[in-house]
Amino acid sequence: MPTYIELQNNGPIPTSSPVGTVILSVNQGQLTLTNNNGLNPSQSLYTTTVRGLYPSASLTEVWGEYTVNYIKQKSGYPSNDVLYAVGICSDDVDAFTVNGNLGQFPTSMNSFLGPFMAGGLAGYPFVGSVGFGAYASHITDTGTLFISCTPHIGVTFTGSAGYQFRKGQAAISTNCGAVHGAVGLVTTDPAPPSQSNAPYDNENYELWKLADIIYPYSASFSGSVSENVMAATDIIREAGLNYVYNNSSSFSSSLAGRTMYVMSGIFINTDYQFQAYTDVTYFASYNSTTDTWTDFTQDYKDGLFAQG
């Protein structure tokens, strides 16, 4: 599969896909994908492409519906009594899905209360312990909390990781651009990232933090751009989860003996007009009475993947 695609305005360009030749054409900035019979390729073909990179990825709407039901099954709390904190990138494609707009976050998550916006660039939980404490204080008297930490990455229809085609743009776009930038910085400058130096100065703390997270691994970024961005995204995902895990005290007093739920994974954006995917890597509960975590990852993933 190609690592990038060049498109010419109003000119169809054949490229390989899981089903053979697919024609990608651009007319007035809009991307159209058809197979050589003139039919729009189905979402299932995209699933084949995405699972070539993330084998356990699920469609986001399936993930959302399943998560709502899973938490209710485990805890007894209905979704309208669960306050949700979403840790995802500030990118406009990560807004909730609305017809005609850009967002790809699943509407099935709308039944949760909120969400509290816990992320920043790349989805790292930049709200910090103070922000999480504020979020926890908003818990309902009868409900609980649910946090998802999912940095995002684009995957094009033809399988280019770290990229996507956005609405109204003929050219391919980076996703996540902040991760691309951080990888580029730590692989070209051997010095540790410093907030005193450009481009990390001038209030660019979030970019500095991402670079600081991946800097210890910079020597390992020796593959293709796509491979490096995938690796860096997972490093940032792990760092975000560890932050939540290590700051459970931010939630304890507000939970008042109740159990909250935390999920980590990769949110996979797709080309415009396709549904996104989620690759879950961790799902657990935190018991505020015993200050202990229970790992439900395998049970959660088995049930989710069985949904198709």
Per-residue pLDDT tens digits for 260-287: 999 999 999 999 989 999 999 999 999 9
For residue 2, is it within any domain?
A: no
Per the listing, tokens 């459970």 go with 248
User: How far is C-alpha 208 from the geometric centre of its chain's CA atoms?
Assistant: 20
Please check the confidence at residue 132 and state whether its pLDDT lies above 80.
yes
Kindly report which listed range (20-24, 56-60, 182-186, 265-269) carries the lowest average pLDDT score.
Answer: 20-24
Angle ∠(287,290,295) on CA atoms, nearest 5:
45
Q: Report cis status (omega within 30 of 0) of the bond before 176.
A: yes
Residue 174 lies in a domain: yes
Domain membership of residue 239 (yes or no) is yes
Is 6 inside any structural domain?
no
- pLDDT, average across residues 158-166: 96
Q: Which domain holds residue 197?
A: 13-305
Report the domain count for the chain: 1
In a domain? residue 3: no
Q: What's the CA gap between 192 and 214, in Å, rounded?
A: 10
In a domain, 99, yes or no: yes
pLDDT per position as a tens digit, 163-190: 999 999 999 999 999 999 999 999 999 9
Residue 4 lies in a domain: no
Tokens, residue 230: 């995938």
Answer whether residue 175 is part of any domain.
Answer: yes
